[in-house]
Homo-oligomer: A and B are copies of this chain.
Amino acid sequence: MALSQSALRAGPVLGSVAERTSTELETLVGIGVTIEAAAGQTILLEGDPCTHCYRVLSGAVRLYKGTADGRRQLIDFLVAGECFGMLGARYSYGVEAITQATLVRASRAAMAAAVREQPAMAERLIERAAAELARAHEQMLLLGRKNAQEKVASLLLDLARRLGSDPARPAFRLPISRQEMADQLGLTIETVSRTITRLKEDRLIALLTPYEIVLSRPAALAALAEGSG
């Protein structure tokens, strides 16, 4: 089994980025430090000691895991308001900025204190964790039991929904490359490309450019995604 084509694609490691003390109450615990990351920048690596938890204030980041020989699996996208790094001695995933992003971080100790003192925060964290878990479970079904067409259809519908596109006739700009789609779906870039071409030939979608997409028949696409198409 060869290396994933994305194995060597990591951006520069975060180091000399701008940091300043935050005064916003909207931050994680009110005492965080904000961090700016450029698109593609690595924020932390799988296996780093887990000293802080982070919250995304703006932009988007991705969580990923990899095997020893460089294959890569995208775990999740995080957008404004979402957190990572709440548990464990080491981060079990790497984190990269997808777009220019602002994050705030707080030490694990400060985090634990906040949870103890503010039941409302505890409840929010539990809800968030449960929602993430449900998404992870959905993704496990996709990765384990769906074929390439079903995977791509699922992703396109998910993107349309999350981007707030018109449900009757979703049209939007793909926010991720073919490689990122492949890493998320457990496919190769070629298979993603071929599958999209096939969906286009079948008139389920239309592409104006490789990134401008219209889901011409969302119901049919949904049927395909659920395995009844």
Residues of chain A touching chain B, judged by Cβ–Cβ distance below 8 Å, are 1, 4, 63, 65-69, 71-73, 75, 86-88, 92-93, 112, 115-116, 119, 122-123, 125-127, 129-134, 136-141, 143-147, 150, 185-186, 226-228
Residues in B neighbouring A72, C-beta threshold 8 A: 145
Residue in contact with A119 in the complex, picked from B4, B93, B122, B136, CB distance below 8 Å: B122
User: Within the assembled complex, what's the spacing in Å between the Cα atoms of A68 and B225?
Assistant: 10
Number of copies: 2
CA–CA, A228 and B227, complex, Å: 34
**Nearest Cβ in chain B — how far from A216, in angstroms?**
22
Closest to A65 in B: B141
Whether A67 and B141, one on each chain, are in contact in the complex, defined by CB atoms closer than 8 angstroms, is yes
Distance, CA A75 to CA B144, complexed state (A): 10
Cβ-defined contact, A137 with B92, below 8 A: yes
Q: Give the residue of B66, B71, B126 whose beta carbon is less than 8 angstroms from that of A126.
A: B126
Excluding A88-B134, A93-B137, 9 further A-B contacts by CB distance (< 8 Å) are A69-B227, A73-B144, A75-B137, A87-B134, A119-B122, A122-B122, A126-B129, A136-B137, A145-B186
A4 to B72 alpha-carbon distance, docked (Å): 27
